[in-house]
């Protein structure tokens, strides 16, 4: 069950970095949704390696194949299997990792857990696993947009110390895609790109923050008590590789306020209930209140660096290891479609759950 996510729009991902390929099965997709490769490929292109000078040069086209669940361009309501073949795998680049654990990677923990691991390219712990999530997320975003009027976006809001200034009410996909770092603040974007290039040249890596936003939710999505919208979003985000933190609305900064300052007063505007501020992040008691849902996700600096580092080998002997292979100096630009995907998967699942329980019967 650990490789599945969601209840009613449920995905199961499979595949390793080096092996036949990586894919996803989606169970529970509504029928009669128009679906072709063209709905999926653009997000895979935003995720794929080799897309720009600031990401890994591994050359994967990541061309999606839909193996089941559609007929004459429409979903059938049956499981949709989509996958991408692994093409530019170079296992030989990882030969040293057969016996040495890379620091702050999952080599040691997989080995400790399973007593075996595919040491080629990180195996299942590689970010390549997210291909399936992004493919499923592309479909979820489409259904949310066309069926529910909900728009899901994410963007890079911070790289190391470089912050940005973005209006969550108006930010658009076009603005996000206007530069290779996917930060819709052009000045900040330029500085971020510069920092990432410097970092690459120094053989090092940097982290940062991706902000996610969903606009157009009706009030009422989300389930008390364990499956609160923010709880499921937090799980979705922390299930992405390299993430270390999640905050919604005012988040950690809200601690500086008093209750009187933090509360979002309600006002009625044309008979519709709105909040004057949005410290809640669009969610109260785990349920959407109609305001935009927004949150921030912390990504650590990539663990692979081109410097000699202390580590141990599979015999538990001390040794050193220097990063090799083709890696990202910063995962943030490629993480944007991942954050969008997990957001859309959470929201669509909750949309269907709300429909099942709370829409009028029958």
By CB under 8 A, the residues from 42 to 61 that bind its own copies are: none
Place of tokens 């729009």: 9
| Cβ neighbours of residue 201 closer than 8 Å, sequence gap 6 or more | none
Contact letters for its own copies, residues 97-126 (x by CB under 8 A): ----x-xxxx-xxx-xxxxxxx----xxx-
Instruction: For residue 84, state whether it binds its own copies (rule: CB under 8 A).
Output: no
Instruction: For residue 288, state whether it binds its own copies (rule: CB under 8 A).
Output: yes
DSSP structure class, residue 100: B
Closer Cβ to its own copies, 177 or 196, answer by number: 196
Least distance to its own copies, CB of residue 185, Å? 17
Q: Using the rule CB under 8 A, which residue among 97, 339, 344, 351 binds its own copies? A: 351
Instruction: For residue 307, state whether it binds its own copies (rule: CB under 8 A).
Output: yes
Instruction: For residue 5, state whether it binds its own copies (rule: CB under 8 A).
Output: yes
By CB under 8 A, the residues from 64 to 83 that bind its own copies are: 65-69, 71, 74-81, 83
Instruction: For residue 164, state whether it binds its own copies (rule: CB under 8 A).
Output: no
Q: Rounded distance, CA 267 to CA 284, Å?
A: 15
Two tokens at 71? 């007929």
Place of tokens 């991942």: 338
Closer Cβ to its own copies, 178 or 253, answer by number: 253
Instruction: For residue 34, state whether it binds its own copies (rule: CB under 8 A).
Output: no
| Cβ neighbours of residue 169 closer than 8 Å, sequence gap 6 or more | 215, 292
3 state DSSP class of 104 = coil
Distances (CA, A) of 240 to 129, 299, 332: 10, 9, 12
Do the beta carbons of residue 155 and residue 209 sit within 8 Å? no
Least distance to its own copies, CB of residue 101, Å? 6
Closer Cβ to its own copies, 177 or 312, answer by number: 312
Q: Rounded distance, CA 47 to CA 164, Å?
A: 22
Least distance to its own copies, CB of residue 150, Å? 9
Instruction: For residue 216, state whether it binds its own copies (rule: CB under 8 A).
Output: no
Instruction: For residue 325, state whether it binds its own copies (rule: CB under 8 A).
Output: no
Two tokens at 125? 């712990």
Q: Using the rule CB under 8 A, which residue among 36, 88, 266, 324 binds its own copies? A: 266
Do the beta carbons of residue 56 and residue 127 sit within 8 Å? no
Least distance to its own copies, CB of residue 253, Å? 9
Q: Using the rule CB under 8 A, which residue among 53, 147, 169, 322 binds its own copies? A: 147
Nearest to 4 by CA among 22, 23, 25: 25
């Amino acid at each position: 069950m650990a490789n599945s996510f969601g209840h009613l729009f449920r995905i199961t991902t499979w595949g390793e970095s080096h092996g036949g390929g990586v894919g996803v099965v989606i169970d529970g997709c509504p029928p009669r949704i128009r679906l072709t490769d063209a709905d999926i490929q653009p997000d895979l292109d935003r995720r794929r390696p080799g897309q720009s000078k600031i990401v890994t040069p591994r050359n994967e086209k990541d061309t999606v194949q839909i193996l089941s669940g559609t007929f004459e361009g429409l979903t059938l309501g049956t499981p949709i299997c989509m996958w991408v073949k692994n093409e530019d795998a170079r296992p030989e680049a990882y030969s040293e990792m057969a016996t040495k654990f890379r620091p702050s990677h999952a080599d040691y923990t997989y080995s400790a857990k399973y007593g075996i691991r595919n040491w080629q390219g990180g195996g299942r712990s590689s970010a390549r696993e997210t291909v399936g999530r992004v493919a499923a997320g592309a479909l979820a975003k489409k259904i949310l947009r066309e069926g529910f009027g909900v728009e899901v976006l994410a963007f890079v809001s911070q790289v190391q110390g470089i912050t940005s200034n973005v209006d969550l009410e108006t930010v658009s996909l076009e603005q996000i895609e206007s530069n290779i770092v996917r930060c819709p603040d052009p000045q900040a974007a330029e500085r971020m790109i510069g920092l990432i290039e410097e970092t690459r040249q120094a053989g090092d890596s940097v982290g940062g923050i991706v902000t996610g936003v969903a606009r157009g939710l009706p009030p009422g999505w989300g389930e008390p008590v364990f499956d609160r919208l923010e709880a499921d979003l937090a799980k979705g985000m922390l299930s992405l590789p390299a993430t270390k933190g999640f905050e919604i609305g005012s988040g950690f900064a809200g601690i500086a306020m008093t209750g009187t300052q933090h509360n979002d007063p309600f006002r009625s505007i044309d008979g519709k209930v709105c909040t004057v501020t949005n410290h809640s992040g669009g969610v109260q008691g785990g349920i959407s209140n109609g305001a935009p849902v927004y949150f921030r996700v912390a990504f650590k600096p990539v663990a692979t660096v081109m410097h000699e580092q202390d580590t141990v080998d599979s015999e538990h002997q001390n040794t050193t290891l220097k990063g090799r292979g083709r890696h990202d100096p910063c995962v943030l630009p490629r993480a944007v479609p991942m954050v969008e995907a997990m957001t859309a998967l959470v929201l669509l699942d909750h949309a269907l759950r709300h429909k099942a329980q709370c829409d009028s019967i029958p």
